[in-house]
Structure 1
Amino acid sequence: MWQSYIKGFKSYLKLERSLSGNSVDAYLGDLDKLIQYFQSLSLEPKLTDIKVADLKSFISWLNELGTQASTQARVISGLKAFFKYLMLEELIQNDPTALIEAPKLSRKLPDTLNIHEINELISAIDASKPEGMRNKAIIEVLYGCGLRVTELTELKISNLYPQIEFVKVIGKGNKERLVPIGGVALKLLDIYLTQVRVHMSIKKGNEDFIFLNRFGAKLSRISIFNLIKSLAVAIGLKKTISPHTLRHSFATHLIEGGADLRAVQEMLGHSSITTTEIYTHVDRDYLREVITQFHPRS
């Protein structure tokens, strides 16, 4: 169903929008849900015949299946991208998604770690093991630079500028940004690179990647997730954390310390400042103190 259009859409996402393989798969998965809906009705409509009413019925179908609002919003976003592509290619005259709105989502505050908990995570790493210094550097770079996990695994030696304390990061959509890197992270990186990594047998094609596994290949995303989970267990941390928690903590600590929101947006690589604004929540303990101290009914 619509195979030639889907093939063209896939190329558009990869080449013109420079999206990663995971993102492309997510968009195609959203489109597949619409196809499944029509197949459940034994329908195979032409793209030019799809109306707003069809898409509203599709969203109702998702609702009946118990699909969460966040998933519905993502599916609608994927369909909007598909029909936008069809309009750009002049394959359809009207965009049926133009009047479709995504469900309102509550803006959940992300979990964060305090500096004591971050220090505990790092202290739980056994530096005597071959991977110990590498893992300490990983935590310091994740927290010290606020990187996404893929940005960390893709970090390259050639993009490290220790003299000026910056690192070049390749973010979403292959967008480059320069991020400051602190002295502690640089020191641990230097120890790992000059005393550990230099003695490793490195697989061809992986020579420039900073963080390697024991086989001399670039670390996978899942390796970083497993590292964070195991450290949380080791220190008895009750919070559910992931590599992204360190990015949340980076942003929250900067803003609570008085950092400019635009500067934090730049360091995080957010395309919209609205995304960065989620970190502007005020510490709840501080709010409680303000109420206790100043409210006449306290």
Structure 2
Amino acid sequence: MSTTNWQNTLQSYIYYLKLERGLAENSIESYELDLLKFVRFLSYSAVDITPKEVTAEHVNEFVYQISTLLAPTSQARIISGLKSFFTFLIVDGQIEKAPTDLLEIPKLGRKLPEVLAVEEIDAMIATLDQSTSEGYRNKVMLELLYSCGLRVSELVNLRLSDLFFEEGFIRVIGKGSKHRFVPIDPTTMQWVVLYKSSIRDHMNVKKEDSDVVFLNRRGGRLTRAMIFTIVKQAAKAANIQKNISPHSFRHSFATYLLENGADIRMIQLMLGHESILTTEIYTHISREKLKGVMDTYHPRSRK
């Protein structure tokens, strides 16, 4: 470990926090202690690098480690401190790009999307008139949202060249234009193939949207607002009282995977989360569900 290099850089960072940002001593001490956790992690991992040599992989592995040890509030504080430190290195001219650029700080205490039961998803899809081109298209879109955990922006931007049917994957362009490959189950894949061959291939498509999978009746790309409307209308027709949005399908996808034993890091990859802390919100949901089972069924809890 390049101890001297880190000590000098940390000292410069502390001066920066005090003189340029005007932080109180207590705040500066918290920043320093949190940053030292990262330095110790690198040391324990036998990673002999200087501050300017830290990569996103180093940061992500550290974030994964603290996610198993610390409360969400502590995790968020440490990540915020890391972002601040590498921003300082940019300001100081030591690096051009921060390894924490795509690192997400989970929003604590936020209201989570509703989780849909499988029966509710089936009921929503059953309300669609699949004898029409638009109705069948909408069915396939909802199935993809649910089966692949896509963001609504990822769905509307899905391209024909992103479909790898033989391999059983779709390529998704997520936040920061980062690509990831998500497995697609055979049944959903067949529905996409049928939509393409019987509907999509026979449409008059706008030139600029020639590679887009899902199109409106005029042959253009669908908008996010259109997907929201389709989901809202299907939920209303199915008499579902929950506050449903396209993100509810993604949320349900992740929750079902976790509750059925999927590894959280695999879920992180499929969702395209840069930080495992964002994925970790689903572990809290499952813990609450487990607690509910205990409260309902354990004899001591029912006393």
Give aligned-pair identity as a percent.
Answer: 42
Contact kept, 8 Å, 1:130 with 1:196, in 2: the verdict is yes
What SS class does the counterpart of residue 294 from structure 2 fall into? helix
Cα distance in 1, alignment partners of residues 252 and 235 from structure 2: 15
Instruction: Between 172-181 and 121-130, report the one with greater CA deviation.
Output: 121-130
3-state SS of paired residue (2:182): strand
Letter in 2 for 1:191: L
User: Residues of 1 paired with 2:301 and 2:205: CA distance?
Assistant: 67
Q: Which stretches of structure 1, 4 residues or longer, exceed 6 Å deviation after superposition?
A: none
Q: Distance in 1 between matches of 2:89 and 2:226?
A: 36
Residues 126 and 84 of structure 1: is their aligned pair in 2 closer, same or farther, counting only changes over 3 Å?
A: farther
Match of 2:259 in 1: 256
Q: Given residue 121 of structure 1, which amino acid in structure 2 is its aligned partner? A: M
In 2, are the aligned partners of 1:167 and 1:179 still within 8 Å (CA)?
A: yes
1:261 alignment partner AA: I
Gap runs ≥5 in structure 2: 1-18, 24-76, 95-104
Given candidates 273, 296, 300, the residue that maps to 1:295 is 300
1:141 and 2:182 correspond = no
Q: Secondary structure at the match of 1:177?
A: strand
For 1:231, the equivalent position in structure 2 comes to 234
Q: Look up the SS of the partner of 1:131 in the other structure.
A: helix
Mapped pair 1:275 → 2:243: no
Q: Decide which of 194, 200, 220 is 1:191's aligned counterpart.
A: 194
Q: Which residue of 2 aligns with 1:24?
A: none
Deviation at 1:52, TM superposition (A): 3.6
Amino acid at match of 1:253: Y
Q: Which runs of 5+ in 1 are unaligned?
A: 1-48, 54-72, 91-101
For normalisation by structure 1, the TM-score amounts to: 0.65
For the pair 1:105 / 2:108, whether they are aligned, the reply is yes
1:287 Cα deviation (Å)? 2.8
> What do the CA deviations read for 1:81-136 (whole angstroms, capped 9, x no partner)?
9x75971569xxxxxxxxxxx9x832544311010001111111101222111111
Residues 285, 198 of structure 1: alpha-carbon distance in 2 compared, 3 angstrom cutoff = same
When normalised by structure 2's length, the TM-score is 0.64
Counterpart contact for 1:107–1:278, Cα < 8 Å: no
Give the letter for the 2:150 counterpart: L
In 2, the alpha carbon distance for the partners of 1:120 and 1:276 equals 27
Specify the alignment match of 1:168 in structure 2: 171
- 1:205 maps to amino acid: E
CA contact (8 A) 2:113 2:244 kept: no
Aligned partners of 1:133 and 1:191 also within 8 Å: no
**Alignment-mate amino acid for residue 288 of structure 1:** G
1:1-298 to 2 correspondence within 5 Å?
Answer: 51-52=21-22, 87=91, 105-280=108-283, 281-282=285-286, 286-291=290-295, 292-295=297-300, 298=303
Deviation at 1:289, TM superposition (A): 3.4
Counterpart CA distance in 1 for 2:91 and 2:260 is 46
- Taking CA–CA contacts closer than 8 Å with sequence separation of 6 or more, which of the two structures ends up with the larger relative contact order? 2
